[in-house]
Amino acid sequence: MPELPLTIADAAEWLRSGKITSVALTEAQLARAHATQDTLAAFILIMDEAALAGARQADANFAAGVDKGPLQGIPIGVKDIIATKDAPTTANSRVLDPAWGQRDDATVVKKLRAAGAVILGKLGLHEYALGWPDPDTGFRIPKNPWDLSRTPGGSSSGTGAAVGGGVILGGLGTCTGGSVRGPASYCGISGIKQTFGRVSKEGCVPLGYSLDHIGPMARSARDCAIMLQVMAGYDPLDLCSVDTPVPDMLGLMNGSLAGVRIGVPRDYFFTVPNLDDEVKTTVEAALAAMAAAGATLVEVAIPHADAARHAQRITMISEAYAYHELDLKSKPELYGKYTRQSFQLGAFFTAADYVQAQRLRPLIRQECAEAFGTRPGDGVDVLIVPTMASVAPTFAGYDPDAMMRSYGFTPIWNLTGLPAISIPCGFSEGGLPIGMQVVGRPFDEPTVFKVADAYQQITNWHLTIPPIAQELAKEAQPA
Residues lying near another protein in the complex (CB under 8 A): 210, 236, 239, 304, 306-307, 310-311, 313-314, 328-329, 332, 340-341, 344-345, 347-350, 352-353, 355-363, 365, 401, 404-405
Distance between CA atoms of 193 and 212, rounded to whole angstroms? 9
Distance between CA atoms of 132 and 122, rounded to whole angstroms? 19
Please report how close the Cβ of residue 134 comes to another protein at its closest, in angstroms.
Answer: 13
234 or 427, CB closer to another protein? 234
Burial of 277 (0-12, 13-18, 19+ CB in 10 A): exposed
Closest CA to 73 of 111, 103, 113, 40: 113
476 near 315, Cβ under 8 Å? Answer: no
296 or 356, CB closer to another protein? 356
333 or 429, CB closer to another protein? 333
C-alpha dist (Å) from residue 24 to 14, 60, 221, 446: 11, 13, 25, 33
> Which residue in the list 22, 93, 179, 210 is annotated as catalytic?
179
> Which residue in the list 79, 110, 143, 450 is annotated as catalytic?
79
236 or 431, CB closer to another protein? 236
85 or 361, CB closer to another protein? 361
Distance between CA atoms of 182 and 189, rounded to whole angstroms? 10
Distance between CA atoms of 112 and 48, rounded to whole angstroms? 18
**Whether 185 is catalytic:** no
Burial of 308 (0-12, 13-18, 19+ CB in 10 A): buried
> Which residue in the list 22, 93, 155, 210 is annotated as catalytic?
155
**Whether 318 is catalytic:** no
Distance between CA atoms of 389 and 420, rounded to whole angstroms? 16
46 near 120, Cβ under 8 Å? Answer: yes
Please report how close the Cβ of residue 341 comes to another protein at its closest, in angstroms.
Answer: 6
Please report how close the Cβ of residue 268 comes to another protein at its closest, in angstroms.
Answer: 13
Q: What is the three-class DSSP state of 364?
A: helix
Please report how close the Cβ of residue 190 comes to another protein at its closest, in angstroms.
Answer: 29
Please report how close the Cβ of residue 76 comes to another protein at its closest, in angstroms.
Answer: 29
208 near 357, Cβ under 8 Å? Answer: no
**Whether 406 is catalytic:** no
35 or 307, CB closer to another protein? 307
DSSP letter assigned to residue 70: T
Please report how close the Cβ of residue 85 comes to another protein at its closest, in angstroms.
Answer: 24
- What positions carry a catalytic annotation? 79, 155, 179
